[in-house]
Structure 1
Amino acid sequence: MNNVLGVDIGGTKIRLAIVGQQGTLSFDETVPTKIPLYPYLEEQILRIIKHHPEVNAIGIGTHGFVDSINGKVIYATDILPGWTGTDLKKQLEAATGKRVEVDNDANCAALAEAKIGAARGNSRVVCLTLGTGLGGGIIWDGKLLSGGPHGGAAEIGHMVLYPNGVLCPCGRRGCYEQYVSGTALNRRIKEAGLTISSHELFEVAATNPHAMQLVKEFTADLAQGISSLQAIFDMEVVVIGGGVSEAAPLWWDQFMQQLEPLLLNPLSVKVAEFGNEAGVLGAALLLEGTELR
């Protein structure tokens, strides 16, 4: 990996960084997400390449279901209107003359953590990103599990945790992300009648029994999902990242108490090593291939 432009596309902002050896960033910029997205994205990438001719390839991590072989967005929610069906690899390669690789943003984060981050040296890894939603990425015997006929492989956030539970934007009820994401925490807080933020929830839990109950429910649900994932993948390591993980010191002990009785086998659980950098680093690593070295 050398002089690859890593691009991390989210609903509100796009991060673009030139990634060099060992994950060093020689250029790093964040711009707001604008709709229609594709022409705007192409404009930003061409601008950077013009000023940084050393860029030799482009890796992109994006919200949505992605056909990683063909680099096409199969499905994206209304977070990115009009993004569904975008033939991203084909269009950008034609526009830039550079090799382009595309995958789901959570898969990119998992790749970064498995190759050069908290899970390096392990061949079976599950990465959970607890942000606005719940993203997931899986490293299976050293290879990133991605794509699928509908671009939906490793969509951990849409495992059903509670049948007939809370309605998810995907149209189904009870999805995992409706219980362990930042959005889920805010919903729980509102339903409990508390007037605090999700970060404040963890801060006041030690002295507020209502907040402590919400933390117990959150950590129990997170543990339950990981227990089910272990039964499927028998992973060596789980890495937990995303915005909610920034408060991990405040809820980690409670979480581990909930998790330990549910484990089939010993399991290492770690907080992600990379924060906001995981997306651009993983996107750049797509150019090395998805097999761990």
Structure 2
Amino acid sequence: MKVLGIDIGGTKIRMGIVDSNGQVVEDHKIPTETPLYSYLENKIIQFLKEHTHVQAIGIGTRGMVDAENGVITFESGTIPGWQGTEVKSLLEKATGLYVEVNNDANCAGLAEARLGSARGYRRTVCLTIGTGLGGGFVIDGKIMNGTHGGAGEVGHMILYPGGHICSCGRPGCSEQYVSGTALRRSIAEMNIVDENNKLITPNRMFELAIEGHSDALAITKKFTNDLAIVISSLQAVLDMDCVIIGGGVSESADSWWSFLLTALEPLLLKPLEVKKAKFGNEAGMLGAALLVLTDEKDGVFKK
């Protein structure tokens, strides 16, 4: 069987066909446009006309999701009008196909737990470090969603009370310190520029830290120390087997991984596996497809 997995981000949407073995057999990207639902429905119907063999649809999206009912319960404003959308019921009516909806970081965590770096572990936390900081908790192969779809919102754990104002409106959330956005803000504050007097990228900043650049090293150590605190706090609550780190910032992990392990060692209560994600930018889309493929071995369709 083949299903359609969709990963909805603030700037782009990734749509892919995934087979019973968890293999991506076709992959497309389109820009995110608003109002989102009508745009998304039109694109999906067009896609299904060209791929009539699709049997179900899984969607991973920004924001908090009532996964049981497929409703977006909270979105910070990156996608105007998305909050409150009853995606599952609307899309099932429009397509006649079975639809599951969940948070994008949860979907990434599901992909890593079933097919990726966390395969074989029972209790997994997946952290996605990109524009913000996301989290997905997968326990015994199932996503922990929480009462309002808010479980795994690691980026909105308060790290520094009274700190930088988050997009959620509260001060001091962890994603204001552990994210690509936070790194770019720190680079601007330190005014670390290249030979053309332009602010450098986070990837370049990590490289400079290894070379001994004092300001870059200070930012790197602050970033990894804050990430270590987040991981340690999660361990105290969840006592997970494994932490997987993915997202755009993780693509430069080779440059900062040793700093993280050094910062993490004295904070852990028990031994903990910390691993880099296997899947890159396709993790959310692949995990979304797995929402409707409950068994990667024989492709049992979730009903």
The TM-score normalised by the length of structure 2 is: 0.93
CA-atom RMSD in angstroms: 1.6
- Equivalent of 1:226, from 222, 225, 231? 231
- Equivalent of 1:281, from 277, 286, 298? 286
> What is the rounded CA distance, in whole Å, between the counterparts of 2:258 and 2:3 in structure 1?
39
Question: How many equivalent pairs are there?
Answer: 291
Structure 2 residue aligned with 1:19 = 18
Pair 222,191 (structure 1): closer, same or farther in 2 beyond 3 Å:
same
Shift of residue 23, structure 1, vs aligned partner: 1.9
Structure 2 residue aligned with 1:163 = 161
Shift of residue 291, structure 1, vs aligned partner: 11
> What is the rounded CA distance, in whole Å, between the counterparts of 2:96 and 2:140 in structure 1?
33
> What is the rounded CA distance, in whole Å, between the counterparts of 1:9 and 1:116 in structure 2?
21
Structure 1 residue aligned with 2:75 = 76
Pair 7,147 (structure 1): closer, same or farther in 2 beyond 3 Å:
farther
The correspondence of residues 1-293 of structure 1 with structure 2, limited to 5 A, is 2-148=1-147, 150-195=148-193, 196-205=200-209, 206-289=211-294
Shift of residue 147, structure 1, vs aligned partner: 4.2
Query: Which range moves more in the overlay, 139-148 or 110-119?
Result: 139-148
Residue deviations 1:179-198, cap 9 Å, x none? 11000101111111222111
Residue deviations 1:45-95, cap 9 Å, x none? 111111111000000000011000000111112210010110000000000
The DSSP-based 3-state class of the residue aligned with 2:81 is coil
> What is the rounded CA distance, in whole Å, between the counterparts of 1:136 and 1:78 in structure 2?
19
Q: Which amino acid aligns with 1:178?
A: Q
The DSSP-based 3-state class of the residue aligned with 1:247 is helix
Query: Which range moves more in the overlay, 247-256 or 193-202?
Result: 193-202
The DSSP-based 3-state class of the residue aligned with 2:177 is helix
Shift of residue 290, structure 1, vs aligned partner: 9.7
Q: Which amino acid aligns with 1:287?
A: V
Gaps of 5+ in 2: 194-199, 299-303
Shift of residue 165, structure 1, vs aligned partner: 1.0
> What is the rounded CA distance, in whole Å, between the counterparts of 2:226 and 2:161 in structure 1?
13
